[in-house]
Amino acid sequence: MPVVLRHNAGLEMNLAEYHGQISLSELEAVAAFLAANPDFLKRDTLSVVHPAAAFTGILFADLDRLFGRYRTLYAPLNFEMLRRSAWLCFSPEAQTHVDYWLGGRDAREAMSTTVRQLGTYAEAGEWLVLNAQETNMLQTGEGFAVVASFDLAPTTAHAR
C-alpha cells in the first residue's frame, strides 16, 4: 500500500506512512478521507516516507493545490492548542517533494500546526513529547490500527 493511515487511541496520535511510488490520486484520496473524518485532523501526526518511496510525476503545482485543500479542511476546526506534525523521510528520491511540502508554507496559520522534519524516530518522539516506550510504539507501529489505506492508479491530469 503506498499510503497507510494509522491511529493509536491511547496516544491520541496518527501515523501516516508512504511506501513505493505514491500517485497524485493517492494524495487526493488522503485529503478526501480527512475531509470526511475531521477528528483525524486534530491529532499530532508522524508522517514517515519509507525508503524507496517516491512522488515521481507529482508536480509542485499539484502540491500547492493540495495545500490549499488542506487549508480549507482546517479552517472550520477549533484548536485548543497547536498540533504537531513530525516528518521522517528515509527516501532520497522523495526528499525534494517533502522539502517542498514543508518549506515556505505557513502551516501554523493555515492548519494550526507546527511542522518539523527530523532525522530519527528518537528525535521525532522527543519532539512529539513521547517517552521511550511510546516512541518505540511509534517506530514499530504497535497499537496503531489501520484506519485507511490508499493504493490507486496514478492520475495523469495535473493542476494547470
Mean pLDDT taken over the chain: 86
Confidence of residue 160 (pLDDT cuts 50, 70, 90): very low
Q: SS3 breakdown of the chain: % helix, strand, coil, rounded to 5? A: 40, 25, 35
The region of weakest confidence among 15-19, 60-64, 68-72, 87-91 is: 68-72
pLDDT (average), residues 99-112: 64
What CATH architecture does domain 3-150 belong to?
Alpha-Beta Complex (3.90)
Round to whole Å and give the CA distance between 109 and 82: 10
Round to whole Å and give the CA distance between 141 and 136: 8
pTM (two decimals): 0.87
The grid cell for 11 is 496516544
More confident residue, 70 or 81: 70
